[in-house]
Amino acid sequence: MGSLSTMIRDVVAIDPPAPALEFEKIWLSWADLAQQASEIGVLLDRLHLPQGARVAVLLRNRPAMVAALLSLLMSERCLATLNAAAPDDKLTQDLGQVGAPVILGLSEDWARPGLIDAAAGAYATCIAIDGASRILHDGDPDRVVAPAAPGIAIEMLSSGTTGAPKRIPLPARNFEKALLSAASYEKGRDEGAPMRLRGGVSLVTAPMAHIAGITGVMNNLLAGRKICLLEKFSVEGFRDAVARHRPKVAGAPPSALRMILDANVPAEDLSSLVAYRTGTAPLDPDLADAFYEKYGIPVLQNYGATEFAGGAAGWTLDDFKAHWKAKRGSVGRLNRNTEARTVDPETRDVLAAGNVGLLEIRAPNIGNGTDWVRTTDLAIVDADGFLYIKGRADNAIIRGGFKVLPDDVVKALQEHPAVLEAAVVGLPDRRLGAVPAAAYIVRSGAVAPAEDEMKAWLREQLMPYQVPAVIRAVDELPRTPSMKVSLPALKDMLSDGHV
């Protein structure tokens, strides 16, 4: 971790008065970030928190959180993430369970009902870090039973897309290797290259409560690149930031692509972009083609996971130009120093290239760096190293003995002219064991067909057992902070009256 700490200190010291971070059209300099990070560090030192101590942070996309991230990484303490965008009752539960002796947050979050009480009940010290860092409640660190986390850079609370969120420890060495690996793809950022500040502004819309937000911030800061930080994605906020800062590359989840297209954002507002990067959720290649046809901007998907501390595969602009037609539907080529294979879900036998199976990954920044790490994704790895994700094995719906993969049903639904975005989950069924159920957002200007009409249309696209038993038009799909569809929340939404 020492080299990452050194890199942060080196880039901050290049030109302290230079602009570093814009939030709500107000700029902070490198010196501003360094000063805020230092104030947090001094306060943690006074509390006698050693290296490896776990410090929980109520994360939002705010400048104070960037300073907290830098402070913890430079002092080699462990950042235990908490999602400040969660509802009050969920957040109070997380505060009581995180087991950190110190919790950092914004004053506005500490003012929410029950939060300080929940932290105090877990003997944590509560600190507000907006403005001058200050203690709001003195805890009792000797009574905090959770251990420290030496060697762990980040303890990431997963997004809970498919179930209850869990804490995933990211070793400092893996996080550092992931950041260095990402840097190796950028000109002038080879290992050993001197740190320097760069022109241009990068947009960060991914939530810092998610690994994509943290790596988005860190990759840009270590590159010496200015950041425009958006609290959350919105079409207008994204359009305004791109139009003002004229970045060459920007991105957000596939759902944001649909929102941009549906809003008919003028092409001239996005004309600076040479590529749009996306991840965190499956990308429909038809959506990528529609975006390219309208704006002439290639959509470059990547594939990763919280456990990987970043990406394992992705599209480059050169690969898109050379291989998109032949490899359409792939999440891109495996990253440098990354290996992947598939195994039979039942026998665990390794499969030949081109066969669907459970995906296993091996890379220096994953696990112990030498063993294969098994995922729950069904995938194909072709002979050229391109990766295709075919769904999640743990999401398969067994309907009366027939296997239904939700992604197949989602794709069919999104081919309907009235559908902007769809999602599918399995609901318990007394007779069949489980049945698929679907919700979808209606495209602007379209009219939602009756449920029977939609089912009849789907019967022409799918096998009978794949057609959802429930299909509902909704204003919004429930989402996690990273804008993935929350399947547990969707299941609750669709389960009314179905048994």
- pLDDT digits over 98-157, tens only? 999 999 999 999 999 999 999 999 999 999 999 888 999 999 988 887 778 889 999 987
How high does pLDDT run on average in the chain?
Answer: 90
Supply the pLDDT for residue 185: 62
How far apart CA 148 and CA 243 sit, in angstroms, is 45
Q: Which two tokens stand for residue 159?
A: 């997004």
421-434 residue pLDDT tens = 999 999 998 888 88
Residues 94, 82 contacting (CB under 8 angstroms): yes
DSSP string, 56-121: EEEE-SSHHHHHHHHHHHHHT-EEEEEETTS-HHHHHHHHHHS--SEEEE-HHHHTSTTHHHHHHH
Which stretches of the chain drop beneath a pLDDT of 70? Answer: 1-2, 159-165, 184-192, 497-499
Supply the pLDDT for residue 338: 92
The residue among 235, 230, 287 whose CA lies nearest residue 260 is 235
Supply the pTM of this predicted model.
Answer: 0.80
Q: Which domains does the chain have, with CATH numbers?
A: 2-174 (3.40.50.980), 396-494 (3.30.300.30)
- If one counts every other C-beta atom within 10 angstroms of the C-beta of residue 287, the result is 19
